[in-house]
Amino acid sequence: AKSSADGDFSGGKITPYGPISLDPAAGILNYGQGVLEGVKAYRTEDSRILLFRPEENASRMRLGAERLCMPAPSVEQFLDAVKQTVTANRHWVPPPGKGSLYIRPLLIGTGPGLAPRPSTEVTFMVYANPVGNFHEASAPMSLIIQDKFHRATPGGTGGIKSITNYSPVYKPTTEAKAAGFSDVLFLDAATGKYIEEASSCNVFIVKENVISTPPTDDVILPGITRRSIMKIARWLGIQVEERPITVEEAMSADEVFCTGTAVGVSPVGSVTYQGKRSEYITGEDTVTNLLRSSLVGIQTGILPDRELWNFVLE
C-alpha cells in the first residue's frame, strides 16, 4: 500500500511475488529512507498458525518511521497486512518442528526528492518465505570482537530497524566469516569498552545464574526476543540485569547467548578478542537451553501462552 503524508494506507492488495518499480529519485534508493521488520509464523500440532508478538513489530516500525520522517501504518493496518500475507501463503508455513514462515514488512520512501529531504510518499509492503530451524541446524555461534568497525553511534539509528544499519555490517561480518567466525560482537563507539550486540541479534551473558544484557538506549535494537527472554527468565526465578557489560565480563561469563527473530535463542560457544578466545558452557543443562526451550514452547503452542503473546490465525 502507498501513502502520502496523511498516513492513509488503505488500498493495499495481495500480488504475486516479483519485482516492483521505483522512481529513480525515490527516498529509499538515494538516501536509504526505509525501515524493515521480521516476524515469524509457526504451525502448531493442531494446525493453527501462530504469529509471535507482531504488534511489537508494528510499534517498532512506527518508532523507526518517526525517526526517518515517514508516515507509518497504524498497528491495526500493520497487523492486517501481515495477517493477509500469511493467510495468502498459509500452505508455505512449515509443519511443526520444521521451521517457520519468515515475514518481512518493509516501509520505504518511494516519493521523489533529489535533495536529502524526506519523501513523504511511502510504500508499505510485506513478503514472506519459509525458513528452516536455525538452532537445530547449526552449532553454537562463535563471535569475534573487533575494534575497527562499529554498528551504531549515540544519536544515530542503531536503536531502530533502519535499512541503513545493515549494509555497513557486511564488511565486518564478511571478514569474520572468512576467518571462521559466525558473527561479530560489536563494541560501543564512544569508549570501545562495552559489548553492544551482533549484526542481527541481541546478546546476553550468564554468570552464576544471573543473566545480563546491555541497555538498548539509542544504540542497540530493542529486540522483541530480548524483551521476551527477560520476562521468561523472571518467571523462572532467574535474576535479570540490564546494564553496561564490559568486554572482560563477557570474556569471563559462564554462558553467552544471542536472541533474535531469525536466530531464536542461540548459544554462543566462544568469543574471541585480540587473539584471546573464551569458551562457554553449551548444551542441554544450561540456563541458555532452559530459556530457549521455554520460548520455543510458547511460540509453537506447546507451552501455555500466559501473556497472550501469540496472535492466532485459525
Chain residues that interact with ligand PMP, rule: CB under 6 A: 38, 161, 197, 200-202, 221, 223-226, 259-261
What is the distance between the alpha carbons of residues 249 and 95, in angstroms, rounded to a whole number?
A: 40
Q: Which is nearer to ligand PMP, 85 or 259 (CB)?
A: 259
Answer for the pair 233, 226: CB distance below 8 angstroms, yes or no: no
Q: Is the dihedral of CA 86, 90, 96, 102 positive or negative?
A: negative
Torsions phi, psi for 51 (to 5 deg): -110, 130
What is the distance between the alpha carbons of residues 204 and 210, in angstroms, rounded to a whole number?
A: 10
Q: Which is nearer to ligand PMP, 5 or 75 (CB)?
A: 75
Q: Taking the complex as a whole, how short is the minimal distance between the CB of residue 60 and ligand PMP, in angstroms? A: 7
Q: Which is nearer to ligand PMP, 3 or 165 (CB)?
A: 165
According to DSSP, residue 243 is labeled S
What is the distance between the alpha carbons of residues 270 and 274, in angstroms, rounded to a whole number?
A: 13
Q: Taking the complex as a whole, how short is the minimal distance between the CB of residue 261 and ligand PMP, in angstroms? A: 3
Q: Taking the complex as a whole, how short is the minimal distance between the CB of residue 263 and ligand PMP, in angstroms? A: 8
Q: Position of cell 553467552? A: 256
**E strand intervals along 164-275:** 183-184, 202-207, 210-213, 239-242, 255-260, 264-273
Residue nearest to ligand PMP (CB): 223
Q: Taking the complex as a whole, how short is the minimal distance between the CB of residue 24 and ligand PMP, in angstroms? A: 28
Q: Which is nearer to ligand PMP, 108 or 201 (CB)?
A: 201
Q: Which is nearer to ligand PMP, 142 or 173 (CB)?
A: 173
Q: Position of cell 500500500? A: 1
The verdict on whether 2 is a catalytic residue reads no
**E strand intervals along the chain:** 2-3, 34-36, 39-43, 49-52, 100-109, 122-131, 141-145, 183-184, 202-207, 210-213, 239-242, 255-260, 264-273, 276-279, 310-313
What is the distance between the alpha carbons of residues 176 and 253, in angstroms, rounded to a whole number?
A: 22
Q: Taking the complex as a whole, how short is the minimal distance between the CB of residue 118 and ligand PMP, in angstroms? A: 23
Marked catalytic residue, from 161, 171, 177, 276: 161
Answer for the pair 126, 82: CB distance below 8 angstroms, yes or no: yes
Q: Taking the complex as a whole, how short is the minimal distance between the CB of residue 202 and ligand PMP, in angstroms? A: 5
Q: Which is nearer to ligand PMP, 172 or 223 (CB)?
A: 223
Which are the catalytic amino acids? Answer: 161
